[in-house]
Amino acid sequence: MSESRLREEICRYGRSLFERGLTPGSSGNISLRLDDGGWLVTPTNASLGFLDPARISRLDSAGRLVSGDKPTKEIPLHAALYESRGSARAIVHLHSTHAVALTMLPEIDPRAALPPMTPYYLMRAGETALVPYYRPGDPAVADAIRGLAGKYSSVLLANHGPVVAGDSLEAAVFATEELEETARLYLLLRNLNPRYLTPDQVSDLVQNFGLDLPSHHDHDGHDHG
Ligand SMILES: [Zn+2]
């Protein structure tokens, strides 16, 4: 896909996410990794609903601004996830209500923030890690993400929002949506004693769809280093 086409895709998905109320105001950001090692990133203080393809920040492989507006100050998040997930081509970060709500609940397991509720959550988002609260733009959040050693493509930042990597922009967007909807299901069903997928049902999905779930790393013998 040409760079101009990719710029348009960022704007199209950004508008779609914004119009569905998945990230308010000027929150949220999207990045794409290009073939030359550089990136396209949404600008700082830009609403995802009103992006201009020509003003998207173009960075070189060293992260220097080549053209467009000043990039989002949440660059360290994106950089850390690209660094630890070699296959990632796109990253979506939102301030989506249900995913943010989930991060504040006391029972959340930081290595599996959501239980296995639906097959599509596992197939698109995998399992989700939760990292502690950091001030927006704090470079320390990058260390927290690196500390996950690339095992997770979806990460929740406490009291802030999800950061999700995909091998395409579409994959990253769909995974973020799946994470948000699954967080919503969790909140709807909390304290109602719902039936989640059983370990056998999860193993069946892992085998049939070749899922790369952190909780199955120890059992399948693969090296995901
Ligand atoms: Zn944010």
Q: What is the pLDDT of residue 218?
A: 52
Q: If you measure from the C-alpha of residue 202 to the centroid of ligand 1, how many angstroms do you get, rounded to a whole number? A: 31
What residues does each domain of the chain span?
A: 3-209
CA–CA separation, 57 and 72 (whole Å)? 9
- pTM (two decimals): 0.93
Domain topology for 3-209: L-fuculose-1-phosphate Aldolase (3.40.225)
Q: Which of 13, 82, 120, 186 is catalytic?
A: 120
Q: Are 80 and 149 in contact (CB under 8 A)?
A: no
CA of 138 to the centre of ligand 1 (A): 11
Q: How far is the CA of 73 from the centre of ligand 1 (A)?
A: 9
Q: How much distance in Å is there from the Cα of 158 to the middle of ligand 1?
A: 10
Average pLDDT per 10 consecutive residues for the chain, totaling 225 residues: 95 98 96 95 97 97 94 92 93 98 97 97 96 89 92 96 97 98 98 96 96 75 41
Which pLDDT score is estimated for 177?
98
Measured in Å, residue 157 CA sits from the centre of ligand 1 at 8
Tokens of 148: 């996950």
- Residue 118 Cα to ligand 1 middle (Å): 26
pLDDT score at 139: 84
pLDDT recorded at residue 225: 36
> 3-19 and 169-189 helices cross at what angle (nearest 10)?
20
Amino acid at 63: G
CA of 177 to the centre of ligand 1 (A): 16
Cα–Cα nearest to 153, from 162, 143, 166: 166
Q: Is 152 considered catalytic here?
A: no
Torsion of CA 10, 63, 146, 197, to 10 degrees: 10
Tell me, in angstroms, the distance from the centre of ligand 1 to residue 172's CA: 16
State in Å: Cα 107 to ligand 1 middle.
23
Q: Helical H runs in the chain?
A: 3-19, 75-84, 97-103, 119-120, 140-146, 169-189, 199-209, 217-220
